[in-house]
Structure 1
């Protein structure tokens, strides 16, 4: 009997993908905090999770097997954030404290999904070995 990892892992495997993509967007905001004219962005997590579950991402074709596979979020998933503070004169809308808070919250949720997956994997290993839970 084959094990269906999609059923065994549930939504957590897809949440990791969406959280990872959001972390990249938030890190980009932090990296560009001093870039004039940079507009802060964020991701619709629910849309990213649905995309990850349906595996509807865009991927670039590789011309060589040694190239990295790159996935690009569908248009509309990453959006500009409405600024919480008035313009400082350089057109940058990044609020560093907000970005740090969002990044840490996202990191904690990523860690929680990892812990859930770890528990699922431990349960599968016990089942495969025939151990009692």
Structure 2
């Protein structure tokens, strides 16, 4: 069914799934803000989206300008980029910056809302086409 809706809808779907995973990471960081020696998970929406696109078999994005940065092609995050191993800001060894995490959560919620509006707009357009086809 989703294939009928086109490639654009699949990108929106991937975006929504990546937003959900990013929200989960941020929520986990906030929930562990008082856990001694907890290292904040630094994975972002971009990490989850690229993982989703590679999993679906989407090829590398095409470079349309000579100044574009090329992808390393590894597709994997090193453990040093996933968890915050910088010296802890607190005495208990926890690296969660609650203000940073709350800002990430707010941004992610806004972008999720935008993605939902895009999906709703596409579905509304299809629904209108179907209704007009019945006349």
Q: Normalising by structure 2, what TM-score? A: 0.71
Distance 1:3 1:125, change over 3 A: farther
Q: In the alignment, is residue 45 of structure 1 matched against residue 45 of structure 2? A: yes
* Separation in 2, partners of 1:93, 1:32: 10
Structure with the bigger percentage of helix:
2
Q: Equivalences for 1:9-24 in 2 at 5 Å?
A: 9-24=9-24
Shift of 1:89: 1.2
- Runs of 5+ unmatched residues, structure 1: 57-73
Shift of 1:104: 0.6
Shift of 1:36: 0.1
How big is each residue's C-alpha offset from its partner over 1:14-38, in whole Å with a ceiling of 9 and x where there is no partner?
1000010000000000000000000
> 2:21, 2:45 within 8 Å by CA — same for their partners in 1?
no
Distance 1:52 1:113, change over 3 A: same
How big is each residue's C-alpha offset from its partner over 1:31-51, in whole Å with a ceiling of 9 and x where there is no partner?
000000001112242232122
* Separation in 1, partners of 2:103, 2:123: 30
> 1:29, 1:40 within 8 Å by CA — same for their partners in 2?
yes
Number of paired residues? 112
